[in-house]
């Protein structure tokens, strides 16, 4: 692939680092390899001088054969345009990389994830603890030489099951003895969690002197994992002074299944239904992101009709997701389920469409590399028309009329959970959260994919950055999505829905690719590394909910308990995607 043409000031920055920053020469790779000692200066120059202020993705790759580990960064300009990709390489024995958390706060959570899964230490990271796995977990599972319990083979299909077709669960075959690798002197029965101690230490470690006034004591309170309004098994540990939040740390990983490791065992096509399970509300968008990434790697383009079908499904998904988000936000505000039930009613209508085209209401598994799986049956087309031209616009207006001007909603949401544009960009948040803070950044416009450059719609943004604005952005985005849907339905071309013939096995040339789409919750990116085999060598999901959660603490510290719950609701997380 060809390197992108760089702007003048970027070339100047590169010139300054002469031998510290070199182009990645491997076949199929892009970007630049930065020497670790230059990383901080390089990143600062990139951010301050070149306008690459929006670092969205940080991930690692373990090149076992080369004895190297690599940290991969994708930085963007908030003005739009393609990524500037840069990498840092380190050895496998004692991997240490300088932390970018102070330059790009968005890296903080993702570096913790890399430390957790790869064991790469980040020097200068403010709070380097495990994030998805529990403290005390043995090993770092995304390293290529790490083997899970009941390990059989590196890649599917496993010989025990294919081609003979014997199906049994691996854990039935292996009693609790094989392949379970405890550290020396470790007794699982006597083990006690040490993670919480580290968490509470980080929680109570706050700079700043005691305030004068009545002497009171602070309490530590856990919200979650079993809590009605954490949207799943999410936990936030808060330090409270009365009802005011002094500090907040969130704890993830209760739903962690190491999606990425499983994804590396799977073949490319086997991952398609697996992406459905990320954000289980927006499976079509997840499919879209994965398909875009793999197609980028394969260098293929789906036919016209397939693109229209894809956009149609993705926009329907956006309507669903935003409706549910508004419903659940109201639920977090304490409205007794009524707005949510109204939102769910519309969702059912759209799920009918999904069921008709894909056979499944939630886990759609509809996209294929170079097309989609099935064409839209004729009988459902009338329903789609009825939805996008009549029912949905009417219902959105209805929700608008009920909620937008409500006094209590405004009192509870306006000025709550404020995120300034600078903060939002620095934290790398995306989607309605970013646009609610006044940054008109929408991947459908900033780096158009599929047919979005031909469609007519506005990027919605508001300027206050509070919970109310995020609500408004979501509401307006539903309208814009309906606008897109109307165009798509009108312009829907005839033709094939799949390039070539559909196969179980796709040939993916070696190389890397980062494909991203504007999922309802924000930037959903898939970073793939292929070594030419049927399975991805590296399969990384940059999930919007995970990164957006980084904004929870800055939004909530100093506010009341009730507001923290609303802030969380306004971020709109789905734990399937956060924990992966």
Residues in touch with another protein (CB under 8 A): 196, 200, 214-217, 219-229, 235, 241-244, 330-338, 341-342, 345, 406, 408-409, 411-412, 560-563, 565
CB of 142 or CB of 578, closer to another protein = 578
To another protein, the closest distance from the beta carbon of 418 in angstroms equals: 16
Helix axes 304-333, 338-358, angle to 10 degrees: 160
Strands 522-530 and 219-223: unpaired
To another protein, the closest distance from the beta carbon of 420 in angstroms equals: 23
Q: Which residue has the tokens 């029912």?
A: 391
CB of 234 or CB of 441, closer to another protein = 234
Tell me how far apart the 2 most distant CA atoms of the chain are, in Å.
75
Contact 457, 480 (CB under 8 A): yes
Q: Is the peptide bond before 126 cis (omega within 30 degrees of 0)?
A: no
The 10 Å Cβ neighbour count of residue 458 is: 13
Distances (CA, A) of 277 to 127, 311, 443, 569, 575: 29, 20, 23, 21, 10
CB of 4 or CB of 244, closer to another protein = 244
Q: Which helix (H) or strand (E) segment is 75 a member of?
A: strand 68-76
CB of 87 or CB of 235, closer to another protein = 235
To another protein, the closest distance from the beta carbon of 4 in angstroms equals: 47
To another protein, the closest distance from the beta carbon of 9 in angstroms equals: 48
Tokens of 368: 């294929």
Tokens of 11: 């070339």
CB of 333 or CB of 372, closer to another protein = 333
Neighbouring-strand partners of residue 523: 518
CB of 176 or CB of 219, closer to another protein = 219
Distances (CA, A) of 42 to 103, 300, 498: 11, 34, 43
To another protein, the closest distance from the beta carbon of 246 in angstroms equals: 10
With b for 16 or more beta-carbon neighbours within 10 A and e for fewer, the 59-73 pattern comes to bbbbbeeeeebbbbb
Strands 538-542 and 84-91: unpaired
Tokens of 346: 């519309």
To another protein, the closest distance from the beta carbon of 397 in angstroms equals: 18
CB of 198 or CB of 451, closer to another protein = 198
CB of 89 or CB of 222, closer to another protein = 222
Q: Is 136 helix (H, G, I), strand (E, B) or coil?
A: coil
CB of 348 or CB of 397, closer to another protein = 348
Helix axes 304-333, 467-491, angle to 10 degrees: 150
Q: Which phi and psi angles does 515 have, rounded to 5°? A: -105, 135
To another protein, the closest distance from the beta carbon of 101 in angstroms equals: 27
To another protein, the closest distance from the beta carbon of 231 in angstroms equals: 11
Tokens of 494: 């005839």
Q: Which phi and psi angles does 222 have, rounded to 5°? A: -100, 125
Contact 523, 424 (CB under 8 A): no
Can you give the three-state secondary structure of 162-190, one letter per residue? CCCCCCCCHHHHCCCCCCCCCCCCCCHHH
CB of 204 or CB of 486, closer to another protein = 204
CB of 158 or CB of 337, closer to another protein = 337
To another protein, the closest distance from the beta carbon of 335 in angstroms equals: 4
To another protein, the closest distance from the beta carbon of 569 in angstroms equals: 8
CB of 150 or CB of 200, closer to another protein = 200
3-state class percentages of the chain: helix first, strand second, coil last, to nearest 5: 40, 15, 45
Task: Give the separation between CA 124 and CA 556, rounded to whole angstroms.
Answer: 25
To another protein, the closest distance from the beta carbon of 358 in angstroms equals: 26
Task: Give the separation between CA 58 and CA 452, rounded to whole angstroms.
Answer: 26
CB of 105 or CB of 339, closer to another protein = 339
Q: Which residue has the tokens 């796995």?
A: 133
Q: What angle do CA 208, 209, 213 make, to 5 degrees?
A: 130
CB of 40 or CB of 562, closer to another protein = 562
Q: Is 518 helix (H, G, I), strand (E, B) or coil?
A: strand
To another protein, the closest distance from the beta carbon of 340 in angstroms equals: 9
Quote the distance between the C-alpha of residue 507 and its chain's center. 26
Tokens of 476: 């307006």
To another protein, the closest distance from the beta carbon of 268 in angstroms equals: 38
To another protein, the closest distance from the beta carbon of 347 in angstroms equals: 12
């Amino acid at each position: 692939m060809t390197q992108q043409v760089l702007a003048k000031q970027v070339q100047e920055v590169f010139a300054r680092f002469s031998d510290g920053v070199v182009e990645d020469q491997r076949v199929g790779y892009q970007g630049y390899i930065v020497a670790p000692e230059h990383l901080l200066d390089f990143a600062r120059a990139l951010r301050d001088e070149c306008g690459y202020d929006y670092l969205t993705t940080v991930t690692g790759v373990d090149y076992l054969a080369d004895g190297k580990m690599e940290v991969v960064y994708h930085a963007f300009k908030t003005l739009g345009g393609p990524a500037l990709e840069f990498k840092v390489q380190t050895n496998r024995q004692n991997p240490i990389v300088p932390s970018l958390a102070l330059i790009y706060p968005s890296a903080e959570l993702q570096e913790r994830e890399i430390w957790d899964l790869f064991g790469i230490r980040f020097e200068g990271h403010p709070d380097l603890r495990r994030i998805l796995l529990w403290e005390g977990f043995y090993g770092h599972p995304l390293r290529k030489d790490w083997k899970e319990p009941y390990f059989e083979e590196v890649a599917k299909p496993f010989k025990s099951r294919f081609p003979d077709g014997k199906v049994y669960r691996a854990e039935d075959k292996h009693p609790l003895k094989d392949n379970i690798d405890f550290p020396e002197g470790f007794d699982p029965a006597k083990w006690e969690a040490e993670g919480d101690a580290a968490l509470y230490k980080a929680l109570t470690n706050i700079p700043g002197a005691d305030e004068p006034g009545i002497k009171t004591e602070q309490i530590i309170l856990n919200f979650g994992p079993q809590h009605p309004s954490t949207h799943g098994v999410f936990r936030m540990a808060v330090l409270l002074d009365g009802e005011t939040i002094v500090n907040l740390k969130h704890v993830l990983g209760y739903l962690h299944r190491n999606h990425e490791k499983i994804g590396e065992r799977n073949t490319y096509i086997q991952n398609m239904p697996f992406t459905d399970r990320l954000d289980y509300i927006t499976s079509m968008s997840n499919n879209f992101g994965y398909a875009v990434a793999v197609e980028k790697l394969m260098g293929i383009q789906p036919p016209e009709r397939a693109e229209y079908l894809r956009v149609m499904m993705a926009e329907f998904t956006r309507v669903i997701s935003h409706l549910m988000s508004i419903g659940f936000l109201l639920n977090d505000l304490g409205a007794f389920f009524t707005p949510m039930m109204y939102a769910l009613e519309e969702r059912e209508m759209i799920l009918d469409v999904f069921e008709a085209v894909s056979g499944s209401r939630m886990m759609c598994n509809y996209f294929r590399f170079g097309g989609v799986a099935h064409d839209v049956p004729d009988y459902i087309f009338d329903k789609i028309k009825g939805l996008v031209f009549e029912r949905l616009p009417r219902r959105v207006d209805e929700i608008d009329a009920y909620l937008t001007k409500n006094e209590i909603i405004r009192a509870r949401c306006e000025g709550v959970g404020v995120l300034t544009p600078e903060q939002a960009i620095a934290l790398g948040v995306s989607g309605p959260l970013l646009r609610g803070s006044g940054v008109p950044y929408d991947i459908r416009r900033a780096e158009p994919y599929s047919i979005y450059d031909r469609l007519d719609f506005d990027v919605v943004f508001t300027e206050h950055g509070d919970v109310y604005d995020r609500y408004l952005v979501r509401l307006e985005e539903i309208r814009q999505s309906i606008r897109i849907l109307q165009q798509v339905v009108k312009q829907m071309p005839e033709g094939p829905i799949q390039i070539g013939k559909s196969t179980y096995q796709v040939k993916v040339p070696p190389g890397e690719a980062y494909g991203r789409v504007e999922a309802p919750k924000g930037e959903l990116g898939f970073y793939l590394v292929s070594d030419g085999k049927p399975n991805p060598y590296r399969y990384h999901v940059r999930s919007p909910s995970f990164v957006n959660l980084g904004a929870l603490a800055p939004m909530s510290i100093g506010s009341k308990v009730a507001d923290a719950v609303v802030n969380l609701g306004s971020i709109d997380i789905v734990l399937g995607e956060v924990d992966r």
